[in-house]
Structure formats: C-alpha cells, structure tokens
Structure 1
Amino acid sequence: MEQPHFKSWPDVAPTLIAVAAGRAPADTVIRGGQWVNVHTREILPDHDIAIAQGRVAFVGPDASHCIGEGTEIIEADGRFMIPGLCDGHMHIESGMLTPAEFARAVIPHGTTSMFTDPHEIANVLGLDGVRMMHDEALMQPVNIFTQMPSCAPSAPGLETTGYEITPDDVAEAMTWPGIIGLGEMMNFPGVIHADPKMLAEIAATQRAGKTVGGHYASPDLGPDFAAYVAGGPADDHEGTCEADAIARVRQGMRSMMRLGSAWYDVETQITAVTEKGLDPRNFILCTDDSHSGTLVNDGHMNRVLRHAISCGCDPLIALQMATINTATHFGLEREIGSITPGRRADIILTSNLTDLPIEHVIARGKTVAMDGKVMVDCPHLDWPDHARRTVNLGPARRAEDFVITAPEGANRVTANVIGVVENQAPTKALTADLDVIDGAVAGDADKDICQIALVERHLGTGKTVNGFVSGFGYTGDMAIASSVAHDSHHMIVVGTSRDDMAKAANRLGEVGGGITVFKDGQEIAMVELPIAGLMSDSPVSEVAAKAQDMVDAMAACGCHLNNAYMQHSLLALVVIPELRISDLGLVDVTKFELTDVIKGSA
C-alpha cells in the first residue's frame, strides 16, 4: 500500500529543478515570510518558498521567477515559516483513536510527521494488527511512519499476551513500505543478557538499514546500561533526570525527552542542553502517550515545543529537537524536518515562535489546516470484525473473584502495594498493614489503599489476579475498569467495592472494550473502544468528550491526580519499575520476578 497522491523524489526531481530554475511554474508560492532555517539556526526575513509536486523547489528572497498563471499564492505577511513538527516516539493507541482520527486530531496543531510504535495492538492482534495500523497510517495526508513492535510480550515469563511477536515477524515487516525501524526494545534485561530472540529482531532491523528504538527503564547507568547500548538500540525515551539524558548522548544514543498526557520528563532533562551546554542536535522531543482529551484541548507537538521553551530552551534549538533532529535520527533528513529544496513541503505559518499559534499548516504542499480547522479528509481503513471482537472474559465476573484471602487465622496482614507516582511512569513498591474482615484482606481508605485486579481478556480463561494499589485517592464505593492495560492489554480494574469491580469488568465485556467508571453501583462514565479494546474510529471530538467525562467521573470518586487514567492504564507494564501486576501475579520489576501480595501476618 503506497501513500496516495504523493510521488517519491526521483519521480519529481526534473520538475523541482525546472521550477527552481524558473523554467516551469510552481504549484504554490508562499510569499513574504521569515524563513526559520533549522540547519543553520537562523531566522531570515523577507523570503519566499516555491512548492511543486508536494515538495519544496526553491527558497529565497524572491520566488517571482517560479510564479506562473496557475500558481497559488499564499501571503505569509511576515509570519514565521517553520517546518512541520515531528513526534519522534509515540503510540497512536494511547490517544484511544485510530490512525485516521489521530491524524485529524493533531494536524491542526502542526504535527506533520509521526514515528509510531503500535505495540499495543500487537499484543492483542499480533502482526495482523500491526499491518492494519500500518495500512491506515499510509492513507493519511500527513507522514505516519511505523516502527515494527519488538516486544510482545514485553517481559517473557512475567505476562501472557494475546499474540507474540517473533524475529520472523520483524523480518517480514521490514519489507513493508511504511516501516521505519524497530519499536522500543522494552525487554532491556533480554538485550543485556544477549537473548537470542531480541538480538535476532535487532539484527533483522539493522540488516534492513533501519533504526532500532530503545527503552531502558532503569536508573542503573553502569555496565548494564553499556551492555544495552552495545546491543543496538539507538535512542531512549525513558530518562527522567539530567543524568539520564547526559548518559544516553555520551554513549551515542539520541535522548528523547517526552511530554505526554501524564509524563513530564522534559523539564528535568533539558538542563543537559540549557545549563550543561551539550550539543542539542542529539536531543529529540516526543510525546510517547497522549490521550484524546489532551490532543483536542491542549495540543500535541506544539504543546511539547512550548513547554521546552518555557523550561528555558532557545526557541530555535527546541524547534530543531522537534524537526530536523528527529528526521536525521531516522535517516529522513532528505525527506522531512526542514524547509529546504527537495524536502516534503511540510510547513507551518505562525506569528510567534514562543507562544506558537498554529495558523496555517501545509503538508506535502497542500493546506491541511487553518486556524485550528482541518481542511482535508483523513481516510479510514475498513476494520474487520475480528479486530472488533477481542474482549473475551469467559465466565462473568462476580464480587467473590476480587476477594484477597488472608492466611488462616490472621486478623491483620502486611501487604505489598503498588504506589502510583503522579506525572511519571515508574511506580513505588510500598508495604502496608491491612485489616482482615471475614477472612478477606481489606483496603484502607485512610491510607489511600484500594484493590487492583488484572482480569484475563484474550483467551477467556476466567482468571483474575488481585492486589493493592495506593495513590489514586478513591473514596466511597467505586470501580474503574479499562481494557487498555499496557502492554499485555488484559483488563485492569481498580476499586474500593468488589461488587462495583465485577460490574465494571462485565460491562466492558458487553461493549467489547473501553473504560468504564462505576460509583455506588451505577455506571457514571463510559468510553467505548471497540477496535482491539484499545481504539475508537468515532470522531475525535466525540472520543475526547467521553474521555473528559471519564476524567470527571474519576474526580467524582475522589481522584485528583493529573491524568490519572494514564497511570491506571500502565499498572500492568511489567518493564518499568518498581511494582506491577500481570496475569501471572504481582511483579517486582527491580528483580524481574514474581512476588507475593501478602508478605505475612502483621
């Protein structure tokens, strides 16, 4: 499947040359703007841009020689002309949207290129799911490059996924037209210990001349980190402090600094550039995970760029981190990332480089958005029925399935508790003394401890794994259930009432996936996600509205964390420390081994 209505450089080179030389008219000329050159970090006033066949043909003080009878003229009126923004690492599924609706959401914010890792759908539908994401991505009017997921499961032996990704799958995907590299290598212990499967996936990617994505979620920057870098990953987005960023670039990696809906890791790392003075061309801005509400209400890469600038970064350096740095990293410097001849004409007109109002967005030479309004169609794939029937709970869940039985005779126990950390992906491994009521261990609202359960939803085994979690602030009788549970994507249910937990789980089984919030026995919010239990193909405005209702419902249950749903959905991510839950039990991610929920009698 090729990108529609867009030709490669060899097919249009004669036209570009003719337009630049004045022998043929341009399709479009942007006239009288300030050219922001990310190659030289300059702002050059009173420049024109000539566009032909979706690419830049000429940039200079006067493009009048490129104007013909049919040339469209766009008056820049002194505004800044900046490259379309690139997201260096992100997951479309985290937006709760299909690629088409995600594109529709971010185009008005100036994002014209995305490097997306669909490992969420890979865990549910395998290579077939990746192919569907890839195919719909290529249908869009902006550039969506796909990284072949590397780790499904993310931690073999600690979780069970709906499908597994193999080295043969990776080798096959490397032949697809929209595959740009290998998705984040989350199984960092596997790389460190030279696991043959992980190394085979990396080798297949490097043989294809493509980029290997990294994911080193450990604070250890000693020999294990060096071993991981030697294993081939070329970038990493899991850094949370300045030392992490410095270590990565010193070892030849690109440091990807993320600002997602709940991950605020730019401010703590960008000081490596703003204060330590390291070469900024080795740093990249990304979002990683942004839900639909953030996209509609706050923005996408423009939000990240504004944030980096507010953290003290020079606007032109921040812009490099969201354009040319990303393009260079993925070997696409001749295609995207700058406004220079031969590149795709992905251009934003803005009147301010600090506040960054996105006033006019051009992608591949066509106007795609103006003043926040999308001006083009974003085509949808015809998603098949099997992609919409992925929530298989088996027997209906009952309140008894969520009972955590105490050791015989115990009146009080010491339990391991997952501790949520606001605005960060890692959790804390906590312990708490909890009461036993009628033989069952109870949560403790005064200590902000409630129950968490992972409900198996791929094979219909009826299995439920229970534990405790702290940090959400829930009060009263409530439950929230989600079929988005990175990365194995079983079902995560958190609640204070076992009855509500059962109702919430069964409700998602009825609708085929999504997020539901129950309070006092009644459903008060629902976001339907029928595609793989992860995404909706409904209009982004509708999904965002339901997502906001869900956030409001969580607040009504006592939770006031920033974007707490993102923390909820990552409670099963068994490759980020310290404590997680999987279908096999409670996982100590500092040791990569299972641990008990109940440590013993208090």
Structure 2
Amino acid sequence: MKTDLVIINAQVFNSFIRKFESKNVAIRGEKFYYITPEELTYLAAEKTIDAKGRYMIPGLIDSHMHIESSMTIPSIFSKAALYHGVTTIVADSHEVANVFGIEGVEAFLKEETELDIFYAIPSSVPSTNPDLETTGGIIGLNEVRELLASPKVMCLGEVMNFKDIVSDPDSLINQIIALCKELRPNMPIEGHVPKIWEEDLANFIYHGITADHTHQSPESIYTKICNGMFIEMQGKSITKENIETIVKHSFYEYVALITDDVMADDLLTGHLNGIVKKAIDCGMPVEEAIYTSTYTPARRMGFQDRGAIVPGHMADFILLDDVTEFSINQVYKSGKLVHTKGEPIKTPEKTEAFPAEFFHSVQCEKADLERFRIPVTTEKDAVLCNVIQIQQVGTFTECVERAIPVKDGYLDWESTDLALLVVMERYGINGNIAYALVENTITNKGAIATTWAHDHHNLMVMGTDAADMQVAQHHIIDLQGGYVVVENEATTATCPLPLGGILSIAPLEELGKQLEEVRQAMVRLGYVNTNEIMSFSTLSLPVSPAIKITDVGMMNTRTQERIPLVKQESL
C-alpha cells in the first residue's frame, strides 16, 4: 500500500481516551490512514518525517468566531489562523451581513482559502429589529432559506434578541428558528445569553437555543450546563474560578474553547492557541484543553471528519515542541505542511475581488459644530441625565444618573468629566442621529470615531470636545470607515477599514500596527479597559447588558425600552 506521508516517533493524542501514545501515523491524500506503534516502512511513503518525540494533536477547531472582528477578509485571515494551528472555523458573518445583507455573506462564501471555513447563518440582522436600529442589510426568511442550502453552513448563528423570542411567537427570529428546525432539524442553534437566569433561561432553551458563548461565571457555567446548554468559553471567561468549576464537575463534554472576537493586532500573536494556553495556565489539564479545542467543537457542529487523529479524518494536525507551553513547531492542513516555526505569517498572493460599491458604503453628511450641541428647555442651571457608565473589564454597562449643567439653553457637557457619544446613521436611509453621555471613558481633550460599531455599524463618535469630535467625524467619512483618534483637533491615529467600513484588505502586519496605534492613542486620552477598542465599539450593541445606544437612541437592552438622555428638565 502506498501512502503520501508518514510521521514517525510522535506522541499522538488519542481523543477517545484523552491520552498521548507513542505512535506512527500514515496519511493518504488529505486523510489519516493508519495509526499504530508498529513500523510503517512497508507502506512505501512518498515522504517520512521524524517527529523526534514531539506531541501530535488534531488541528484546532474554532466553532464560534467572527472573521470581521479581525477586520480583515477570509483569505488573509486564513493564513494567520493556520499560522496559529487553527485548521477549521465556523464563522458567524453577521457583521458584514449588517452592512451588506446576504450579498456580504455570499462575498465571504466565495473566497477560496486553505483554512476550512464553514459558516453560521446570521440570525440577528439587525440584532434587534429595524425600529430600534438602522442597518445596511436585513437577513429574513428568504435569505435564511437560501443559506440553508449551502453545504458550508453548519448552524444558526448566535440568537440574541431575547425580548422578541420570549414575547412574540410570530417575531422574525422565531420564524427563522422554525424554518431551520423544519429544513435542517439537527442543525445546532447558537445563542447569545448574557445574565439570563431561571425561567428566562428556560424560555430561551425551550425555543431550541442550546449554546452560549457570552461572559461566564462559575454559577452561569453550572446552571446552563445543568439545563442542557453547551458552553463556548471565550478568553474573558477563562478564569481560575471558571476552569475550577469545569474541572470539579468534569464538564469537558459540554464545553468548547473558542475565540469569538480577536482584533487584528492580537491576531499577529495568537488565536485559539492562546485561548488553549490560557485554559492550561488556569488549571485545565492539558489533555482536556486539547479535547475541548478539537473534538468537542467538532461534535457540537456535527463534523464527522475532523477533531481527532483516526483513520478517515482530515489530516489536520499540529506538532508541538512543548505541550504545556503549547509551542507550535509545525502545522499541517489536509496532509500538507502550511507553517513551520520561525516563518512569518504569510500574505495571500491575491484576494478575491469585492464589488466596488463595498468600498463606498459610508453615506453620512459631514457634521457642523451645531450637531454636537444638545438643547434643553429649562430655566434652571442643571438637568438630571441618564448616563452610560462603562466598566474597566468587559463590555457590560450600567445606567446612572448625573446632574449636567445648562448654559445658554444647551447641555454644558464639555464642562463635566463625561464624554459625549453620538451615533449617526450612515447608510443614507433616514439620517437618524442619537446622543448619549458616557462615564469612565476618555478623560483628556480629544475624540474617537469609528464605523465599526456592533452590530449595526453606523458612524459613532465620542469625545470631550466638540471641535475634536467634528475633526474625527469628517476624517472617518473621508476614510470611508475605520477608526480615527483626534487630540487637540489633530489626528493622532487612524486605522482605515474601507471595505464596508469594517474591513481592510491591507496585509495583516500593516493592519495590526494601525490598530495598535489607535489603541495606544485611546489610552493616551485616558480610556481604561481590558480591551479599549471592543469596549468602545460595543457601546452601540443593543443586546449586551445593560444600556446601549443605536442611531434611534439609548435603550434598556433587556426590555428594549427607550431611555431618554434628559431624565428631568429641572433640578
């Protein structure tokens, strides 16, 4: 029998007993053929590689992530993911869908990549409904039906509109879930289930939503798994306390390690491999960390041909120098070597051509200074306002009340320690503009603007000075999207994202450097958070607790009730 490749002297991970064994591995074509402790010289391999005792594990599988969070396109992302040992992903492309609808999803589907990219159907485009946020595209029943026919589609992407699920049986999201159950009854339905408990949690699960990837605690992990939910652990959920809960109860069968969102600058140094290493460092046994980043995500998504080193599975694997440190020596995809330690992240020779109109999607008027003045009708010298208070860790917010001075009939917000946040509809649909005041963001004179605003991606500008905000807003329009930081009316950092206002086609190293410069410029303005950019960009996400803003206005994200900026006209 002739084979293409034989790996000898490897410590091979057996996913079914979760142990390493001294084995030799034969590969035919794209698949594993034979794994045995015996010599394989009789198989007449085209090539034999001596692993020299290195650890051989399946390629990593990221079952819940968003390519757009890395602000690059699939073909460029593919090279970076393989570099970090990731050989299969399931991507929820709801960001590009919010900008371009199904045309954006189809553009992603068309890109050819070495990395195996499967997709989740974007279930929440928009994340709430068109009355609460304006998007460039909508995914309805016709679009879902079309995507269900694609062999690349593995699941329904994160369902996040809790209110419409539990309060309206005929809501669009309930119709989408019903259609998926009818046409693909065994397809997983992913969920976005933050801070939901007791009967509300039961109601979510009752509707068929059986996974959650949001920020976890020991209590949420235990409760959700005991109620039948599969938990996808992203980086911010991997703490010693959470891992201890999983280890104590042997919850490994019901857990997968995932990334969800990895920014472009972070992607240069790690992806799912970094999550695996963090889980190990927090106390998860090495074998279980490998198991929950290969086999359990494969099983969750219904893959029958990957996630383990056994005959007939795809020959996707990693050779590790040190398993505890998770130091990668080589990465193989479909039996072919795609990365060796010491090599840089490769850039694809060419990328697929995206439609020209995808690079001209920011249709927003340039603001004059009057846009940043907020009139109030009172003769008093102050009014009580509802304010968005951010935290230094994570993306959750709270609604607090603050007294804001009034000067000449306008809120004198520039004299406070708060920042003004303005969201401007940018698709040329209705011209909506909404205002909020934010606490614990930038404290120095300056402004930040972006079109990467979860999930509707309207233009968002925040600052402590109206003139700086105007400069930032004008510049972001000139760039056709991205991030801009301004200090003293001068731009100090930019990250252009001209493809839909959310993506770049620049080499990853260039993009990562630009994003890091934006991050550092935000820090100089006083922004404090474990992820400054994500904290800012999710102030507009109306399904993330507890108060956020869209182009329609501020709202309680649980009840979807509107929250006025000025609570009381006089004090």
TM range (shorter): over 0.9
Is the 1:39–1:324 contact (alpha carbons within 8 Å) kept by the matching residues of 2?
no
Distance 2:453 2:329 in 1: 37
1:567 to 528, 535, 559: 535
Q: Does 1:533 align with 2:501?
A: yes
| Equivalent AA in structure 2 for residue 565 of structure 1 | I
2:118 to 125, 138, 145: 145
| Equivalent AA in structure 2 for residue 161 of structure 1 | T
Distance 1:582 1:568 in 2: 13
Q: Does 1:87 align with 2:62?
A: yes
| Equivalent AA in structure 1 for residue 548 of structure 2 | R
Alignment of 1:165-204 (within 5 A): 165-193=139-167, 194-204=169-179
Is the 1:104–1:378 contact (alpha carbons within 8 Å) kept by the matching residues of 2?
no
Q: Does 1:116 align with 2:87?
A: no
| Equivalent AA in structure 2 for residue 293 of structure 1 | D
| CA distance 1:265–1:586, change in 2 (3 Å) | farther
User: Aligned-pair distance for 1:110?
Assistant: 0.8
Alignment of 1:385-534 (within 5 A): 385-393=356-364, 395-443=365-413, 447=417, 449-459=418-428, 461-476=430-445, 478-534=446-502
More displaced 10-residue stretch of structure 1: 375-384 or 554-563: 375-384
Post-superposition CA distance 1:378-435 (Å, at most 9, x none): 7522111121111100x32112112122332131122111111233232111221222
Distance 1:558 1:364 in 2: 47
More displaced 10-residue stretch of structure 1: 399-408 or 590-599: 399-408
For the residue of structure 2 that corresponds to 1:162, the secondary structure is: coil
Q: Which residue of 2 aligns with 1:315?
A: 286
1:339 to 309, 313, 336: 309
For the residue of structure 1 that corresponds to 2:101, the secondary structure is: helix
User: Aligned-pair distance for 1:464?
Assistant: 2.1
- Percent identity, aligned pairs only? 29
User: Aligned-pair distance for 1:312?
Assistant: 0.9
User: Aligned-pair distance for 1:460?
Assistant: 5.6
| CA distance 1:182–1:266, change in 2 (3 Å) | farther
Distance 1:66 1:134 in 2: 42
Q: Which residue of 1 aligns with 2:245?
A: 272
Distance 1:167 1:66 in 2: 56
User: Aligned-pair distance for 1:35?
Assistant: 0.6
| CA distance 1:563–1:372, change in 2 (3 Å) | farther
Distance 2:115 2:140 in 1: 30
Q: Which residue of 1 aligns with 2:132?
A: 158
| Equivalent AA in structure 1 for residue 123 of structure 2 | S
User: Aligned-pair distance for 1:372?
Assistant: 4.8
Distance 2:42 2:353 in 1: 41
Is the 1:421–1:427 contact (alpha carbons within 8 Å) kept by the matching residues of 2?
yes
In structure 2, the gaps of 5 or more residues are none
User: Aligned-pair distance for 1:111?
Assistant: 0.9
User: Aligned-pair distance for 1:119?
Assistant: 0.3
Q: Does 1:223 align with 2:191?
A: no
Distance 2:338 2:404 in 1: 57
| Equivalent AA in structure 2 for residue 140 of structure 1 | T
Is the 1:472–1:564 contact (alpha carbons within 8 Å) kept by the matching residues of 2?
no
Q: Does 1:303 align with 2:278?
A: no
For the residue of structure 1 that corresponds to 2:38, the secondary structure is: coil
| CA distance 1:34–1:538, change in 2 (3 Å) | same
Is the 1:445–1:475 contact (alpha carbons within 8 Å) kept by the matching residues of 2?
no
Distance 1:198 1:305 in 2: 33
Q: Which residue of 1 aligns with 2:78?
A: 103
Is the 2:76–2:347 contact (alpha carbons within 8 Å) kept by the matching residues of 1?
no
* RMSD (Å) for aligned C-alpha atoms: 1.8
2:180 to 205, 211, 235: 205
| Equivalent AA in structure 2 for residue 108 of structure 1 | Y
Q: Which residue of 1 aligns with 2:339?
A: 369
Q: Which residue of 2 aligns with 1:214?
A: 191
For the residue of structure 2 that corresponds to 1:358, the secondary structure is: strand
| Equivalent AA in structure 1 for residue 73 of structure 2 | T
Q: Which residue of 2 aligns with 1:351?
A: 321
User: Aligned-pair distance for 1:115?
Assistant: 1.1
For the residue of structure 2 that corresponds to 1:415, the secondary structure is: strand
Post-superposition CA distance 1:219-248 (Å, at most 9, x none): 231111111101111211124211111222
- Tell me the TM-score normalised to structure 1 length: 0.91
Is the 1:264–1:423 contact (alpha carbons within 8 Å) kept by the matching residues of 2?
no
Is the 2:215–2:237 contact (alpha carbons within 8 Å) kept by the matching residues of 1?
no
Is the 1:142–1:364 contact (alpha carbons within 8 Å) kept by the matching residues of 2?
no
- Tell me the TM-score normalised to structure 2 length: 0.95
| CA distance 1:372–1:423, change in 2 (3 Å) | farther
| CA distance 1:98–1:530, change in 2 (3 Å) | same
User: Aligned-pair distance for 1:300?
Assistant: 0.6
| CA distance 1:222–1:144, change in 2 (3 Å) | same
User: Aligned-pair distance for 1:437?
Assistant: 2.9
The number of equivalent residue pairs is 565
More displaced 10-residue stretch of structure 1: 586-595 or 524-533: 586-595
Distance 1:105 1:372 in 2: 14
For the residue of structure 1 that corresponds to 2:339, the secondary structure is: strand
Post-superposition CA distance 1:290-320 (Å, at most 9, x none): 10111113x1111101111111111111111
| Equivalent AA in structure 1 for residue 191 of structure 2 | G
Distance 1:416 1:571 in 2: 15
Is the 2:394–2:530 contact (alpha carbons within 8 Å) kept by the matching residues of 1?
no
Post-superposition CA distance 1:550-594 (Å, at most 9, x none): 111112222242220111111110011111011111111132111
Distance 2:24 2:218 in 1: 40
Is the 1:284–1:321 contact (alpha carbons within 8 Å) kept by the matching residues of 2?
yes
Q: Which residue of 1 aligns with 2:234?
A: 258
Is the 2:432–2:552 contact (alpha carbons within 8 Å) kept by the matching residues of 1?
no
User: Aligned-pair distance for 1:442?
Assistant: 3.1
More displaced 10-residue stretch of structure 1: 115-124 or 369-378: 369-378
For the residue of structure 1 that corresponds to 2:543, the secondary structure is: coil
Post-superposition CA distance 1:145-203 (Å, at most 9, x none): 11110011111132121111101211110111211111100112222233442222113
Is the 1:84–1:113 contact (alpha carbons within 8 Å) kept by the matching residues of 2?
yes
| Equivalent AA in structure 1 for residue 70 of structure 2 | G
For the residue of structure 2 that corresponds to 1:269, the secondary structure is: helix
User: Aligned-pair distance for 1:445?
Assistant: 7.3
Q: Which residue of 2 aligns with 1:595?
A: 563
Distance 1:169 1:411 in 2: 53
2:11 to 34, 38, 55: 34
More displaced 10-residue stretch of structure 1: 169-178 or 405-414: 405-414
| Equivalent AA in structure 2 for residue 577 of structure 1 | P
Distance 1:57 1:445 in 2: 70
